[in-house]
Structure 1
Amino acid sequence: MFNGSCYYFHYNCNWNKDWVTAQSMCKTYGSELVKITSQGENDFIKGKIGNSGFWIGLNDRATENSFKWSVDNSTIGDNGNYSSWAVGQPDNNYGQDCVVIYSDGKWDDDECYSDHCYICEKPAS
């Protein structure tokens, strides 16, 4: 729990998922891939993920360089939405349309078919 939301961290990275499958798995839990809205939430997640990369619910699959949160379709920059890109990211290399958070709390765009652990979030109702 953090700020009233419940989180599921899929730690078994031997059973990594591509971004679309991770999102589908979250939906089976009645949740979505996590939307990170503050430095505090990013720090909370950073403290839980260890050394693996984890999918978050941010992508630019529809329009290149227009990163949207899958849960509500808001973009980075809407209403001051928080971001934590690593230096030089997003670099928008070909096919890098989905976003991963790493142990340093920084975000990186990656190919959506790559396999990573994932984080689901179910906001307070």
Structure 2
Amino acid sequence: YNKNKLNYTDATSACGCLDTHLYMADSIDKYNLISYIVDFSDNVWIGLDDMATEGKYVWSGSGQSLDALLKPLIFDLFQPDNRNNEDCVFKQEYLGRLNDAWCSLTMSYLCEKT
């Protein structure tokens, strides 16, 4: 978990330099684990985006698509909404649910080694 604020692309690269990738909350257990790792009051990039194909969210560490059954359990209500072309996913401060945002925003980020 790095509190240094980076955009999504730079956070992805920073994880890569450590031979890791942005965190994949690809199960309910891994999603729940985020709250034990990161500060409650911090927005944090995770490794999920739909940059390649709008609406098709893919885990950047594995290339696997987001499970349709997991999506409503981990995203905030009415999210992701692609408001003004938001393509990258982060864990929201306080609420802890996932939301989509512009990839150019700077946030803390969470890497993992698999």
2:55 paired residue among 49, 65, 72: 65
> Residues of 2 paired with 1:59 and 1:31: CA distance?
17
1:31 paired residue among 20, 40, 60: 20
Please state if 1:53 is matched with 2:37. Answer: no
SS in 2 for 1:45: helix
Q: Is the 8 A contact 1:42 1:105 kept in 2?
A: no
Please state if 1:18 is matched with 2:7. Answer: yes
> Residues of 2 paired with 1:43 and 1:75: CA distance?
19
How big is the shift at 1:62?
0.8
How big is the shift at 1:46?
1.3
> Residues of 1 paired with 2:62 and 2:29: CA distance?
20
> Residues of 2 paired with 1:105 and 1:38: CA distance?
15
Could you say if the C-alpha distance between residues 77 and 43 of structure 1 is closer, same or farther in structure 2, counting changes exceeding 3 Å?
closer
SS in 2 for 1:96: coil
Please state if 1:106 is matched with 2:92. Answer: no
1:45-88 CA-to-partner distances (Å, cap 9, x unmatched) read 1122221110000000011111101111111127x6x3311001
> Residues of 2 paired with 1:33 and 1:115: CA distance?
14
Gaps of 5+ in 2: none
Q: Is the 8 A contact 1:43 1:105 kept in 2?
A: no
Identity value in percent: 27
Q: Is the 8 A contact 2:24 2:30 kept in 1?
A: no
Aligned Cα root-mean-square deviation (Å): 1.4
Aligned length: 110
> TM-score normalised to the size of structure 2?
0.89
> Residues of 2 paired with 1:43 and 1:77: CA distance?
16
- Aligned partner of 1:3 in structure 2 is none
1:76 paired residue among 62, 66, 75: 66
> Which of structures 1 and 2 has the bigger CA Rg?
1
Gaps of 5+ in 1: 1-8
Structure 1 segments, 4+ long, off by >6 Å, are none
